[in-house]
């Protein structure tokens, strides 16, 4: 029997609120764990994602990311939260790199505010019509905004702009229609990110995905925030740009994500990481 230490964190947290942001479990040293064991542990933790840290010859650490159902090549809040733990374990400082299946991800920090640089965005058109997307989301066709796109800055997702914050709040996806219109072959899963400008320069968003036969909602989705940057680039947004994205209120986990796109098109996602607790499992 071996013992493995882990830490519990909140990523994209709001200062002073211990139950804000997206929860994450990070296993500090996963050497000796098989793929099946990591998947089983992630299912046991039952968080959006659980990460496992390994030594790397190419970066500050190698990281594997698992949801309760499958492994992911990249995800935003696991990247920032794991970087926070790696800094603590290795004293690597405020600039480090993480080796993931999506590639080498650069991460930097100012105190406990962490920022990642996403991969260059790739996009492809959406085959579903606006009316089909509206039906999928339980909305009126008039609620669908400008051209939705599939965007991939490390993890492909369907990015759907809506015309109002009220429409974002009303969204109630149909799981069967998501399987038809929001399925990513590269991910082998369905997902939809909806968002709208809030009228003050900020953005309100929600991220939906099927889980155990029903629709689940993510409190804060860093990869989708990066993909939103790719959407804005594809639609000719003036650069450089910065946006604050509010997510998670609908599931009782208010979260703040900072999106920054440089003049040259580099996409950055940042947020506050807070420590919540730690523990060990023996298996």
Residues annotated as catalytic are 49
Rounded to whole angstroms, the Cα distance separating 212 from 137 reads: 19
Q: Please, are residues 109 and 80 in contact by the beta-carbon 8 Å criterion?
A: no
Query: Would you list the DSSP string of the chain?
Result: --EEEEEEEEEEE-TT-TT-SEEEEEES--TT--HHHHHHHHHHHTSS-EEEEE--SSSSEEEEEE-SS-EES--HHHHHHHHHHHHHHH---SEEEEEETTEEEEEEEETTEEEEEPPPPEEEE--S-HHHHHHHHT--GGGB-S--EEEESSS-EEEEEBS-HHHHHH----HHHHHHHSEETTTTEE-EEEEEE-SSS-EEEEEEEEETTEEEEES--HHHHHHHHHHHHHTT--SSEEEEEEE-GGGT--EEEEEEE-TT--EEEEEEEEEEEEEEEE-
Question: How remote is the C-alpha of 33 from its chain's centroid?
Answer: 24
Q: Which tokens sit at 199?
A: 């009228």
Rg (CA), the chain: 18
């Amino acid at each position: 029997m071996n013992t493995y230490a882990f830490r519990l964190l909140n990523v994209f947290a709001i200062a002073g609120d211990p139950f804000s942001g997206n929860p994450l479990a990070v296993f500090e040293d996963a050497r000796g764990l098989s793929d099946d064991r990591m998947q089983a542990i992630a299912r046991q933790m039952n968080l959006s994602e659980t990460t496992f840290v390994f030594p790397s010859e190419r970066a500050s650490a190698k990281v594997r990311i698992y949801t309760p159902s499958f492994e992911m090549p990249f995800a935003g809040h696991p990247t920032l939260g794991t970087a926070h733990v790696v800094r603590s374990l290795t004293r690597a400082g405020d600039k480090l790199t993480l080796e993931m299946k999506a590639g080498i991800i650069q991460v930097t920090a100012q105190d406990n505010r962490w920022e990642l640089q996403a991969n260059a965005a790739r996009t492809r058109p959406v085959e579903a019509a606006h009316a089909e997307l509206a039906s999928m989301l339980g909305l009126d066709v008039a609620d669908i905004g400008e051209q939705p796109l599939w965007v991939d800055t490390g993890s492909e997702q369907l990015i759907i702009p809506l015309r109002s914050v009220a429409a974002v709040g009303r969204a109630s996806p149909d799981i069967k229609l998501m399987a038809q219109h929001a399925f990513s072959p590269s991910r082998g899963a369905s997902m939809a990110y909806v968002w709208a400008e809030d009228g003050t320069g900020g953005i309100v968003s929600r991220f939906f995905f099927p889980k155990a036969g029903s629709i689940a909602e993510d409190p804060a989705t860093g990869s989708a925030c990066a993909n939103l940057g790719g959407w804005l680039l594809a639609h000719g947004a003036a650069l450089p740009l910065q946006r604050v994205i509010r997510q998670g209120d609908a599931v009782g986990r208010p979260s703040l994500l900072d999106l920054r796109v440089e003049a040259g098109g580099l996409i950055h996602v940042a947020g506050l990481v807070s420590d919540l607790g730690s523990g060990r499992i023996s298996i």
